[in-house]
Structures are given as C-alpha cells and as structure tokens.
Amino acid sequence: MAVTAEIQYLGNLRTKSVHLRSGNEIITDAPVDNNGKGEAFSPTDLVASALVSCMFTIMGIAAEKRGWDLGELSGIVRKIMGENPRRIIRLEVEMYFRRSDIDEKQKMVLEHAAKSCPVAMSLHPELEVTVNFLYEK
C-alpha cells in the first residue's frame, strides 16, 4: 500500500502534511480553546471539512453517472467538541443546492450518496451527525 502523506511537527502545536502524489500541503494549528493560536485548520476541523468534501464528491460521482448537473452547491459544517475525553461529539452539516429543478428521485439519490460517503462510514457510531439538505425553491 502506498504512503498517502508525510506529516511533520513544526513546533508550537503546528503540523505540515504533504500529499505525496500532488505535493499539496496542509498546515494545522491547535485551536485557541486547546492551547493553540487557531491560525489554521485544527486536525478536528479537517475531520469536519473532510466529511462535507467527501459528501460533495460522492454526490458529484452519483450525479455524473446519471448525467445530472448539480449546479452550484455549497455547505457549512459546525463542529461541537466534548470533554473527558476531548473529542468531536457532533457535526452539523447544511448543504445548499442553488438549482430549483432537482426532483424527488434526484434528491433521494443525492442524499443517500452523501450519507454513505467513505468519511461518513468511517466516523465513530457515537458521533452524532446531522445533515440538512436545503433546496432552492
């Protein structure tokens, strides 16, 4: 199995991850509420962002296979942390579809695709995830 990324600790609660195939870099910083500066995504922020990115990707694949155009799609994610142990306890996702002509069958396919993306399937079952699909009317 190939190595995906190389990660370095840069000091001061900061890391650099390099995606080996592309050379793209991600810097993380500890959040302010956990002794950090909050100047970059925290590792748990990346988990939250990865969920929505994965959902969009799998929805895009499902749409392309069917010849559908998703149009403009955006989203937000809220990450709620818990204590003892410190961990993500809830992710709240909102997805905004700007197309008004998405029919009920398409909605069903897209929502199923989103909820069954690999990141969603990899999260701990105790992690509460809510997803609101908001369609323009």
For the cut 80, the answer to whether the pLDDT of residue 104 exceeds it is: yes
pTM for the model stands at 0.93
Return the CATH superfamily for domain 43-135. Answer: K homology (KH) domain (3.30.300.20)
Residue extents of the structural domains in the chain: 5-34, 43-135
Residue burial 70-103, b: 16+ Cβ < 10 Å; e: rest: beebebebebeeeeeeeebeebebebebeeeebe
Contact between residue 92 and residue 130 where contact means Cβ atoms under 8 Å apart: yes
For the cut 90, the answer to whether the pLDDT of residue 100 exceeds it is: no
- Bridge partners, residue 97, by sequence: 73, 135
For the cut 90, the answer to whether the pLDDT of residue 21 exceeds it is: yes
d(CA 13, CA 102): 45
State mean pLDDT over 61-79: 96
